[in-house]
Structures are given as structure tokens and as C-alpha cells.
Amino acid sequence: MSDSSDWAFPSELRPQPEEWDFDLDRALGALVLLRAEIPEDAFTAQILGTERVGNGIVIREDGLILTIGYLITEAESVWITTGQGAVLAGHPLAYDQQTGLGLVLPLGRVGTPWLARGSSAAAHVGDDVLVAGHGGRAHALKGQLIDKREFAGYWEYVLDEALFAAPAHPQWGGTALVGADGKLLGVGSLLVEERQAEKSVQGNMFVPIDLLEPILEDLVKRGRAQRPARPWLGMYATEIGEKLVVAGLAGGGPAERAGVKLGDVVVGVAGERVSGLANLFRKVWSLGPAGVEVPLTFARGTTRVDLRLASADRGDFLKKPQLH
């Protein structure tokens, strides 16, 4: 995503103060720009790049910034730009792999408003929403919540109930999904194609804000949630028809070390058949925490292949943030 600010939504797509029962400009003032620099030898550098730009949301009076975790994973430096043009350094405080959320600690006074957190569970499909990035009204978009449903990502990620809104914001990473009450409902993660009224529309997927509340203090105090890490395989599977096909392997990850091959079709976990990506991951996670042995069955051409993978904690493969 580019951080260029020389663009704007057409005026008819932008929110206007009289359309909302809250202080629109104050809410938009809580959005900041984040620029993260990642070492070239970082585990995620080839996939996510070494320069990442996106949005952050100031969520507390002390300036704590919430964003989507992939923007700051393995970052050695983070720079924050406020709506007033102030630039200051930040520290990548935490990245929670289970939710996908990240926190940035500003190393100085942000001097912006902060956005109160709402309840994503209370939001309903059809509600009017606002999708906002750094840059004020010009980079804010009137939209609608078009779905709430399970989401599974090939990087071994599942949300029980993700939020989907349309139209799509072109700089979605770390955007704020704001409800009609002016409170934060979710954090922008992806650009997606959605089916609506028998046609395909572009929208954004958001991580529900309710997932932050149980882990926020742990993330602030310890840099990670105090729960066992899930077993990670480093196996990127994708749904092709009714098959789960291995489309990628993390270099040096458990799946590659165990002999999994590109094109293998995942058939079962611990003797049980799998049905879909989310089902695959849940069956793996149900076996125990990171480090547990994961028996997988594959179809490789006409041959059945049984492998036992020594799972890992994905966090062990990532560079840890250093406070300089």
C-alpha cells in the first residue's frame, strides 16, 4: 500500500459532520499513518516486504496505537505521522498472531484525540459504518456492514466472526471501522471480493474489536497474550473446489522439514477427515499447544502419504522488537 496522500474520495462518498451523531473530525483525528522498516533477513520480509505503510488508531488517552499486526511484525523501527503532520518514533509493542492485531507504543506525545472502543458483537449487517484511514475526511469512506461470518486465511488463521464492509477502502491496512455511535468496531485487514445481491463487490475484512479486550493488558505489559501458542505448521493450504491443496511452504518450517510437498492434498488430521480450511486448522489446534506432534494424511497423486509433523511456535521464527 502506498502512503501517498495526494488523492481523495469523491465528495459524495465522504462522511459529512451533519450525517453522524458524533464529532466526526475528532474521531478522524485519532487515525495516524504508520511506516515500518523491517530487516531484509526477517522471516516475513519476502512475503510482506521490508517497508510497510498503513494506518493506526489511537485508542487510549496515553497515545497507545492499535493496528493490524502484519504492518509491524519484525519491525526494527516504526514512524508515526499524525493528522497534524507531527512525526515521531514508535515501538512495535505487540503482535498477537491469534487475532492478527498489533500495538504500537509512541515514543513521545502523540497529541491527537483517541477513539473509544465499541462492541462488534452488537453491530448488525446493514448498519451504516465509516471506514477511516489517516488523512481526515478525504480518506474516510461512508459504507455499510455487509456480513459477519467465519474467515479462514491460508497463513493458519481463523476468525470465528469477521466483519465485512463495502465499498472497499484502497488503503485498508489498519483502517478503523467506526459505527454510527462513533466507536471503533474493527481494524482493517484485507481487500476481499464479496457476493451481494447476486453480484460481486469489493469490500474490506475487519478484525472485530471485541477480540482485543481480553488480551489488551497482557499485550501492553508482556508483549503477548498469556495463553499457550497454537501449533504452527508453516503449510499454506488453499481450497480448490472441495480439495485442500498445499500451495506454499515456509522455509525451514515444520511442514517442509517433515517432507510435505507443493501440490499435496490434505486428507486428514490424526485419522479424521478434514472439510475446509477452518476445519483443518481447528483440528490441528485441538491436538495441543505449539510443539505437539501433528499426524497428517495427504494424497500425492495416487499415493497416500502419512507424515508426522513436529509443530512449532511461529513466534520463534520472528525477530523480536527491540526498544532502542
- Kindly list the structural domains of the chain, giving each domain's residue range(s) and its CATH number in brackets, ordered by start: 1-226 (2.40.10.120), 235-317 (2.30.42.10)
For the chain, percent of residues with pLDDT exceeding 90: 94
Confidence of residue 4 (pLDDT cuts 50, 70, 90): low
* pLDDT on residue 321: 78
Which residue from 206, 185, 184 is spatially nearest to 194, judged by alpha carbons? 206
* pLDDT on residue 60: 97
* pLDDT on residue 194: 79
* pLDDT on residue 1: 45
For 246-254, the CB contacts below 8 A with 24+ separation are 246/298, 247/154, 248/154, 250/43, 250/317, 252/317, 253/312, 253/317, 254/294, 254/309, 254/310, 254/311, 254/312
Whether the CA torsion 163, 168, 171, 175 is positive or negative: it is negative
Render pLDDT for 220-250 as a digit per residue (tens, 0 to 9).
999 999 999 999 999 999 999 999 999 999 9
Count Cβ atoms within 10 A of the Cβ of residue 50 and give its class: 0-12 exposed, 13-18 middle, 19 or more buried.
middle
Render pLDDT for 114-165 as a digit per residue (tens, 0 to 9).
999 999 999 999 999 999 999 999 999 999 999 999 999 999 999 999 999 9
Predicted model pTM: 0.95
Amino acid, res. 306: D
* pLDDT on residue 100: 98
Which residue from 286, 285, 274, 287 is spatially nearest to 314, judged by alpha carbons? 285
Confidence of residue 199 (pLDDT cuts 50, 70, 90): confident
Confidence of residue 176 (pLDDT cuts 50, 70, 90): very high
Q: How far apart are CA 245 and CA 235, in angstroms?
A: 10
Average pLDDT, the chain: 95
* pLDDT on residue 2: 47
Q: How far apart are CA 189 and CA 195, in angstroms?
A: 18
Render pLDDT for 41-83 as a digit per residue (tens, 0 to 9).
999 999 999 999 999 999 999 999 999 999 999 999 999 999 9
* pLDDT on residue 320: 85
Confidence of residue 101 (pLDDT cuts 50, 70, 90): very high
